[in-house]
Structure 1
Amino acid sequence: MLTIHHLRLSQSERIVWLAEELGIEYDLKLYTRRTDNRLAPDEYKALHPMGIAPVITDGDLVLGESGAIMDYIIAKYAPGTPLSPPPGHRDYTDHLFYYHWANATFMTNGMMALVAQFMGASELPAFVADRVAKGWKIVEQRLGEADYFGGSQLTTADIMMGFQLTTSRAMSGMGIDHLPNLKAYLARIGERPAYQRAMAKCEPGMPPKLD
């Protein structure tokens, strides 16, 4: 049985959302962050050598990394799903770009900013501030061009992007009143029953950060 190990307030919410969109069976185990440092508890760290979210287990398999997990789940449980457009599809390259850009660049920008703040920087280094600003500009521009990051329909690119646009913002306090395309997009995401089910399971009692 596929088991999704979700560390609360982390990007492992993506995997639950994916499973709900696919309508596949899975077990969900919730883990709460430590109160002293807000990091994962020891039982979560013991799941995988990296000690970070996300992690799934499936029989004897233990697998980390959001993209690897999504690719594995689709290949095993939902081959041919429209959540992953094939080569030749009109949305293939846009989907591919944002699917990888989400973690490789966009979330990395946010992590650099977080580290700078953790180290006591009174303001972000210029190159970090520039990368962060460019990232949010790309988000707003893309959502003015298409309904979804992957193109005309929801894809795993949107599921990859979701955490940084919602739960991560809830922790940082960032507002998006200056990003109307993003606000409209998140309203559409919030109406999806699969997203609603996923977030209710991942963060019980915490409304998703959609505005």
Structure 2
Amino acid sequence: MIHVHHLEKSRSHRILWLLETLELDYEVIVYQRDASTQQAPAALKDVHPLGKSPVITDGELTIAESGAIIDYLLQRYGQGRCQPDSDNTHDWVDYRYWLHYAEGSLMPLLVMQLVFGQLPKRSPWFVKPITQGITRTVNNTFLHPQIKQHLRFIDDYLASHGHFAGPWPSGADIQMSFPLQAVAATQSLTPYPAIARFIERIEADLAWQRVVERAGPLSMPGS
């Protein structure tokens, strides 16, 4: 039996989505964030030394990191589902690219934006003007232009391809779901209609709806 160690307001919803898509049996073990620090509880370190989520256990195996989990589940249980055709090299290159791009390129920017957004809120009153100024400068000169560039790149790709790797949803789409849902939670997607359509397809997907019924709606750290 697969066990998903699911931290609220985390990236593990997409692992549940893959499990539902593959129609696999699994159990969810829910962890709550600390109300004051928003960090994962120490109990998660009993599962994996870093105490992060998502992490799954399957028998004696413990697998952490979203991309590694997706790779494992598809190799072990996928039977060709949620993957490009084996003979389509172009789609496989796209699949690998987006599977790694989500956490390697896009998420660091979004996490940095979250951290700087929290900085003024968590600063003592007498330094708030300073931290607000730092946050504003970092956002205006670096983060916002970089994120905008990435979103335009993603939107252009989806506009011409529909999905991230081939003609149907794949593990790459599942991996990309969280960062794009995180963006949608913080800003309008009017400038990015293809991304908006991608998220609409997620929300209409029956497997995703089963995830929401079982684990609750996706919410974001800091919300």
TM (normalized to structure 2)? 0.83
For 1:208 and 1:128, locate their aligned partners in 2 and report how far apart those are by CA, in whole Å.
22
Please show how residues 77-156 of structure 1 align to structure 2 within 5 Å: 77-81=77-81, 83-89=82-88, 90-119=90-119, 120=131, 121-124=135-138, 126-156=141-171
Amino acid at match of 2:199: L
Matching residue within 205, 210, 213 for 1:200: 213
Q: Which has the higher helix share?
A: 2
Amino acid at match of 1:123: T
**What residue number does 2:34 align with?**
34
For 1:87 and 1:77, locate their aligned partners in 2 and report how far apart those are by CA, in whole Å.
16
For 1:155 and 1:208, locate their aligned partners in 2 and report how far apart those are by CA, in whole Å.
23
Amino acid at match of 1:182: I
Question: Which secondary structure does the structure 1 equivalent of 2:137 belong to?
Answer: coil
Amino acid at match of 2:181: T
Q: Is the 8 A contact 1:45 1:52 kept in 2?
A: yes
Q: Could you report, residue by residue, the CA deviation over 1:47-101 in whole angstroms, capped at 9, with x for unpaired residues?
A: 21111111101122211111111111112222322x1225532522222211111
5+ unaligned residues in a row in structure 1: which ranges? none
Q: Could you report, residue by residue, the CA deviation over 1:165-192 in whole angstroms, capped at 9, with x for unpaired residues?
A: 115643xx32212221211222222211
Q: Is the 8 A contact 2:9 2:219 kept in 1?
A: no
Instruction: Count residues in correspondence.
Output: 204
**Greater gyration radius:** 2
Does 1:191 pair with 2:204?
yes
**What residue number does 2:67 align with?**
67
**What residue number does 2:189 align with?**
176
Q: Could you report, residue by residue, the CA deviation over 1:94-119 in whole angstroms, capped at 9, with x for unpaired residues?
A: 22211111111011121222233344
Q: 1:114 to 1:123 in 2, by over 3 A?
A: farther
Superposition RMSD in Å: 2.1
Amino acid at match of 2:206: P
Q: Is the 8 A contact 2:3 2:26 kept in 1?
A: yes
Q: CA deviation at 1:42?
A: 1.7
Amino acid at match of 1:106: L
Q: 1:24 to 1:44 in 2, by over 3 A?
A: same
For 2:19 and 2:5, locate their aligned partners in 1 and report how far apart those are by CA, in whole Å.
12
Question: Which secondary structure does the structure 2 equivalent of 1:57 belong to?
Answer: strand
5+ unaligned residues in a row in structure 2: which ranges? 120-130
**What residue number does 1:157 align with?**
172
Identity %: 31
Q: CA deviation at 1:124?
A: 2.2
